[in-house]
Structure 1
Amino acid sequence: MKIEHLHSLFLECNSVCTDTRKIKKDDMFFALKGDNFNGNTYAEQALNKGAKYVIIDEKQYKTSTQAIVVNNVLETLQELATFHRRHLNIPIIALTGSNGKTTTKELINAVLSQQYNTTATVGNLNNHIGVPLTLLSMDLNTEMGIVEMGANHLKEIEFLCQIAKPDFGYITNFGKAHLEGFGSVEGVITGKSEMYDYLIAHHKTIFVNGNDAIQLKKTNDAKRFVFGNDALADITIDFIEAQPFVACKYNNANINSKLIGDYNFGNIAAAIAIGSYFKVADDAIKNAVENYIPTNNRSQIIKKGTSNIILDAYNANPTSMQAALLNFEKQTGRKIAILGDMFELGNDTEKEHQNITDLAVSINMNPVILVGENFYQSESDSNKIFRFKTFENFKSEFDFAQLKNATLLIKGSRGMALERVLDLI
């Protein structure tokens, strides 16, 4: 079936679905395959649950004229998303980076939605499946799309750009993330910069944090819009403070966010800059930033009993862990850090966990609780370090009364699920 015909059938449907547990009436179901499942086997179930069409790639599961057989379901999903993106012909803003992608995406969406009907990536659906699903969630009411792109190896951002064909792009930063796949920080810079390569090749606009020397250098010959307090900046945004919430100054107005940590200044500044570029009124930008409240275990401030908690347990890598600890150092009163293993670091795993252990020891907090096999193997003779090989060991062996009357930082990679600590306090 030609993609034009499939797109006409897609327009008859309410939405796209890849999980029969979430099927709604008149959805188009794509029977994706994984290591432990074959979506083709669920095609008939999807129809029984109300799907209008099912897209399959194994003929034996065609039990109805509503089942459409293609060569490869995943490739068809991606091709349909690109066709639909061209059909809508709206501005698409893409963003990637080692840290802060999702928070920045949500801030940009909050600002732009003050004036435009936007559709943005939901959660972190930012891979070769999530990006097509994001594009296919846009409809004729969408005036602007915001697409988050994640990557853990080279050529992935290049591929996602070929699917989404962005008109604008922003890279939050380059850090020590997914070193196992990228090989080194230099590999991270090369991989993330594939977005720059695409935008430059197609004469599109890049948003650049003027306080980031790497971004400035990489986009020196590009069509770009620079923000920050650098002399090259098209607009000036000044950092004020983070005690604990980040505040900044833009066009003579102070903007007071509900985000903690100096590291969130760049995320906020990007949203302000992009709003300014698209002519969102200053008061609307201020309103959007000041009313944005982080969720989903990202820099959340939680009060529980006598403990004040900074819950940043959605993910972690050496760069974000270091930034979180240095920010935490500025907190007053009794401070306790609960840190979980960082994943996908490859050959740098031992070194980076030791670096974070050493940094944690050097900061005025007591105790420092390290959870996970990698932290368990780090070395320190400090009596304020408590190590637990697993979360279950931590849960059963630690005296949680020690967490009372303190400010806690909880941070670790997603697989550690350290938000479970909340149930133990």
Structure 2
Amino acid sequence: MKLTFWEAAQATKATNNWNQWPDFDLTGLEFDSRLIQKNNLFVPLKGENDGHSFIQSAVENGAGAAFWSSAEKAPDDLPVLQVVDTLSAMQDLAVYYLKKMTPTVIAITGSNGKTTTKDMTEAVLAQQFKTYKTQGNYNNDIGLPYTILHMPDETEKLILEMGMDHANEIDFLSRLAHPDVAAITMIGEAHIENLGSRAGIAKAKMEITAGLIANGLLIIPADEPLLMPLIKKLPQTVNTFGLEKADCQAEIIEVQKEYTTFKIKGSSTLFTIPVPGKYNVGNALIAITIGKWFEVSEEKIQAGLVDFQLTKNRTEWLKSSTGIEILSDVYNANPTAMNLVLDSFSQMPTQGKRVAVLGDMLELGPDSTNMHASVNEHLNPTEIAEVVLYGTEMHALYKILTSKYQEKQIHYFKKEEKEALIKTVKSILEPEDMVVLKASNGMGLNEVVTKLLEI
């Protein structure tokens, strides 16, 4: 980190006599006292536990300084910066650091696929630039400034994932980061409980333009009519992506369980991504558009995409010791995303049978029952031989599928019956079978994945 103690004080408008301490270089920043290293700046956040109570741990681990906003007396032997709110101070420091280091900022949001798109974009830009991306799911008002303050000194392109649960959250993140390029992967139903409708979700995702620079680029899906009225008065360049009538348009050549190959309109270059499904082609089209915006050659874009590293639990192929192929997609879920995964999975070549294990999709609001039931249209017994449903909301889908599937082909378990679910899935699967697991993270299907790997 290229910051000094005095710089941090001035950037955050610290109110105490901080200049009584000699200036010194800060080596980093952490809000978890256990991660503190020598001369780090400790940021005690107030949550379920007040971070100020861990100041001694931070000091013992080598903290060089700390923000402070507690009524409790600050340590006398540690340089502290008295601020009104420690989180706001970290955010202000991130704004200052961006201005100082001047990386190009790329912001990515969407109801699904934003992490995969972030990974693809980083892989493409890394072919030509020094890059840094959001680590894990650090995509909120804490994680985003933390990411900024952890980027390596030499970073030229900073790829930031922006997440949200409510309106105005992405607006805040966008104004903090002032992106040069912004992308929306898709408009689904995630957090519809808080935003009222898909139109409300579209409006919330468009908040990513709040801080987008005037001569910047916005990338949106060509097949999303809810976004079209919202882009009419934007001063920025707007590019679309998709499989039809898009600025960056793909033709899918081949889909296998471990890769997808496609071309883009106007080019003979063959692109391959190490993940299945047309929805992942959409994510790749965003990365291609961003690469071209920054004048990365198609050959370099091709090289970046072919072996990009996917963040764990995002469309991850695994295999049990007996040869059962497991498609784990258990980090999040909404109807649009689940339907896309099922459509892709239904066409995957296999020597055995296909099985789907589907759990509740959370935060869908009052129309949750109908949304779960609508997944019925993407399940066919000639393609997916057996279906295992898990959770209160999935009972609506179970009732509909009983008229389509035979009794032995459809299974339902309440949330408290996870052990029974695991036992049943294990009894269903045989070597050479293929199984997909999809649900919101809160359903804990990652535990089921772990058990299936033991078969």
Name the counterpart of 2:324: 307
Alignment equivalent of 1:50, drawn from 62, 71, 74: 62
Name the counterpart of 1:270: 286
Amino acid at match of 1:246: T
SS in 1 for 2:45: coil
What is the CA deviation profile of residues 115-163 of structure 1, one whole-angstrom value per residue up to 9, with x for unaligned ones?
Answer: 1111111111110111111111124311111111011111111111111
SS in 1 for 2:148: helix
User: Is residue 2:364 matched to residue 1:356?
Assistant: no
SS in 2 for 1:374: coil
- Structure 1 CA distance, aligned partners of 2:24 and 2:127? 27
Q: For the Cα contact (< 8 Å) 1:335–1:364, is it kept in 2?
A: yes
Name the counterpart of 2:190: 177
Name the counterpart of 1:3: 11
- Structure 2 CA distance, aligned partners of 1:297 and 1:139? 26
Alignment equivalent of 1:92, drawn from 74, 83, 105: 105
Alignment equivalent of 1:153, drawn from 155, 166, 169: 166
- Structure 2 CA distance, aligned partners of 1:97 and 1:158? 14
User: Is residue 2:241 matched to residue 1:224?
Assistant: no
Name the counterpart of 2:263: 249
Name the counterpart of 2:410: 385
> Given the two structures, how large is their TM-score scaled by the length of structure 1?
0.92
- Structure 2 CA distance, aligned partners of 1:232 and 1:335? 33
Superposed CA RMSD in Å reads: 2.5
Flag the 1:399–1:346 CA change in 2: closer, same or farther, 3 A: closer
Report the number of matched residues. 422
User: Structure 1 residues 157-166 or 392-401, which shifts more?
Assistant: 392-401
Q: For the Cα contact (< 8 Å) 2:111–2:189, is it kept in 1?
A: yes
Q: For the Cα contact (< 8 Å) 1:117–1:144, is it kept in 2?
A: yes
- Structure 2 CA distance, aligned partners of 1:173 and 1:87? 33
Give runs of aligned pairs for residues 73-88 of structure 1, distance below 5 A: 73-88=86-101
Flag the 1:57–1:87 CA change in 2: closer, same or farther, 3 A: same
Shift of residue 70, structure 1, vs aligned partner = 1.3
User: Is residue 2:424 matched to residue 1:398?
Assistant: yes
User: Is residue 2:453 matched to residue 1:423?
Assistant: no
What is the CA deviation profile of residues 9-39 of structure 1, one whole-angstrom value per residue up to 9, with x for unaligned ones?
Answer: 99822221111222222221110011x2110
SS in 2 for 1:123: coil
- Structure 2 CA distance, aligned partners of 1:160 and 1:363? 46
User: Is residue 2:73 matched to residue 1:66?
Assistant: no
State the percentage of identical aligned residues: 30
User: Is residue 2:16 matched to residue 1:16?
Assistant: no
Shift of residue 343, structure 1, vs aligned partner = 1.0
User: Structure 1 residues 359-368 or 155-164, which shifts more?
Assistant: 359-368
- Structure 2 CA distance, aligned partners of 1:341 and 1:400? 20
User: Structure 1 residues 407-416 or 378-387, which shifts more?
Assistant: 378-387
User: Structure 1 residues 20-29 or 164-173, which shifts more?
Assistant: 20-29
Unaligned runs of 5+ in 1: none
Flag the 1:310–1:106 CA change in 2: closer, same or farther, 3 A: same
Shift of residue 220, structure 1, vs aligned partner = 4.1
SS in 2 for 1:85: helix
Name the counterpart of 1:407: 434
Name the counterpart of 1:205: 217
Shift of residue 295, structure 1, vs aligned partner = 3.9
What is the CA deviation profile of residues 275-301 of structure 1, one whole-angstrom value per residue up to 9, with x for unaligned ones?
Answer: 111111222111110011434111111
> Given the two structures, how large is their TM-score scaled by the length of structure 2?
0.86
User: Is residue 2:345 matched to residue 1:331?
Assistant: no
